[in-house]
Amino acid sequence: MRTLATRGNAGRVAFAAIALSSLLSGCASHDPAVHPRLRKTAAVAATRAFEKPSFKAGFFVGSHGWHTSIIVPRDSVPKEAWPRGVLDRTFGDCRYLEAGWGDRTFYMAPRPNVSTAFDAIFLPGACVLHIVGLDPPLESAFAWTGFVRMPCTAVELRNVCNAIGATFAVDAYELGPGLYGRISRFYPANGRYYFANTCNNWTARIMRAGGFAADVGPAGTWSAGA
């Protein structure tokens, strides 16, 4: 099984980032302790865990360099929240589900390049959700990138799952195999991707459903608060 670190997408994005500068750039370090997408998020998560020890539920924010995602326990997803068949038929034996949102053409391109990256950033286009089934330990999947556990209440976790579910397009169907993992699929998604509404903005919106005051500023600056 290919891990997230070896799936090849990071290298493809890095190539596009050279041409598009900070609009698609990420930090060279893959250490979650210093990664700009996760550094503040990890600090906020630690603070909440200390202040709210009763919060036994939780979701995860994953990092792929420039790209972030949300990971939830499969059993926490209400069956009515996601399209029929996703939970039981396709990902029925997976412990965790990772959701990432992005431009359909760029995300699904076999060989994305500067042209597809430029179109994704400057020409608002259709989007997809990339759903990946993951098994423990998550550390093996994110060995070279990183993830942070976000403690929350059971209600907030349900809200996170519902927010991801609301991103699926109506009557969403499998568009094709995903990029990595034991099993992954692309699905049509709501929204339009462009420089002011990237995958990281989507992640921030989902985090807010989980009770975190997350936001993405100019050039992808990441911030999160409890």
Cβ(200)–Cβ(102) below 8 Å: no
Per-residue pLDDT, 215: 65
Per-residue pLDDT, 64: 80
Taking only the tens of pLDDT, the chain with its 226 residues reads 334 433 445 444 443 443 343 343 333 333 444 355 566 676 677 777 777 777 778 999 988 877 889 999 999 999 999 998 899 889 999 999 999 999 999 999 888 777 777 777 787 889 999 999 999 888 888 777 788 888 899 999 999 999 999 999 988 899 999 999 889 999 999 999 988 899 889 999 999 888 887 766 554 555 555 4
* Cα Dmax for the chain: 49
User: b/e map of 102-113 (b: 16 or more CB within 10 Å)?
Assistant: bbbbbbbeeebe
Per-residue pLDDT, 47: 76
State how far the alpha carbon of 153 is from the alpha carbons of 39, 145, 190, in Å.
Answer: 22, 26, 27
Look at residues 3, 32, 226 and name the one whose alpha carbon lies nearest to residue 148: 32
Per-residue pLDDT, 140: 82
User: b/e map of 183-221 (b: 16 or more CB within 10 Å)?
Assistant: bbbbbbbebebebebbbbbbbbbbbbbbbbebbbeeebe
Cβ(166)–Cβ(213) below 8 Å: no
Per-residue pLDDT, 221: 52
Token pair for 101? 């949102």
